Structure 1
Amino acid sequence: MEPQNSPYGQQSYGQNYGQSYGPPEPGYAPEPQPRLDAGKLWAGGLMTAVIAALTAVVALLLVRGVLDVPVFAPEGDGLMGNATTGALAGGAAVAALVATALLNLLIVATPRPERFFAWIIGLATAVMVLLPFTTGLTWQAKLGTAGVYLVIGIAIGSLLSSVARGAVRRY
């Protein structure tokens, strides 16, 4: 082999250190490991709980007040209803916190946690949406109740999915 001039003024004997020929061998490039910022996850989970509670109140105002459908309370309880309005808002907040705990577990314990989370939230929302149709309520009340549950489920699922993307870093 003849000596070659390198760009650094030294002679090289045809050795190409650091150059790769073809695709890298499998297993040589470590996959970036995800790292969870639990503080960001739970701060986002708390904010999701607040938004879920407010979503429940807004949805009830729409269904009861604007559409005049008596859901979650007898018709005589007025626009804001009775204690069930607060219970629904509180239940939505608790559901968001439980979903945050589930998301935390999935991130640290499963591969592709976002897929598992999407399926679990989607199925839980479907259960809640279908639940009113198993009662003896009027069709208006069934549809109104299902709509409220659907909006709450979408809010929790979409917000926590975004929170997870911001709380997980790949290094």
Structure 2
Amino acid sequence: MTALVPTLTLAGLNAVFNTEGDGLQAKLTHIVLGDQGRTPKPSHTKLGNQRRRIAIADGEKTADRQLHITGVVDGEGPEFWVREVGFELEDGTLLAIWSDTQPLAYVSNNVPLLLAFDLRLDALPADSVTIETSGANLSLVAWGEQYIANSAAIIDTMARQVDLLFRVHELEKRS
């Protein structure tokens, strides 16, 4: 599988530069998923075969031209192998597209699919795109920090228990 490096679309670039000219920022609002693997081109204005459209659940700016965004695919709808991912602005313009013939994930009605992307926008002016989220607080970065802290606490507790076990074992040998 190729790295998930999306191609900026011409329509997306135009939308960003139009809002930039108005002194506004383009708002990234949705992740779209499809099942048609192909070579993405700047001229594409939609996915080859869009199957799901989800609101961005959470997001943050992680660098001048990099955004971390998350979303959840759940509920009833078509099940399929994800072979294309698009990022839409609030007016429905496709800002960027990624696609490959090898599937990225499987969308199932039985298991929610949590998505996280770091979207680099090197070809755009810094701060020209913002993220509009549903406020679901799904930042995987924050979750990762919490899991690391929990893991460290568990390991510390286990080390104390092992130390205590050895001390008890020594006491039993003496008696």
When normalised by structure 2's length, the TM-score is: 0.20
User: Greater relative contact order (Cα 8 A, min sep 6): structure 1 or 2?
Assistant: 1
Structure with max Cα Rg: 1
| Structure with more strand by fraction | 2
Query: When the two structures are superposed, what TM-score results if normalisation uses the length of structure 1?
Result: 0.21
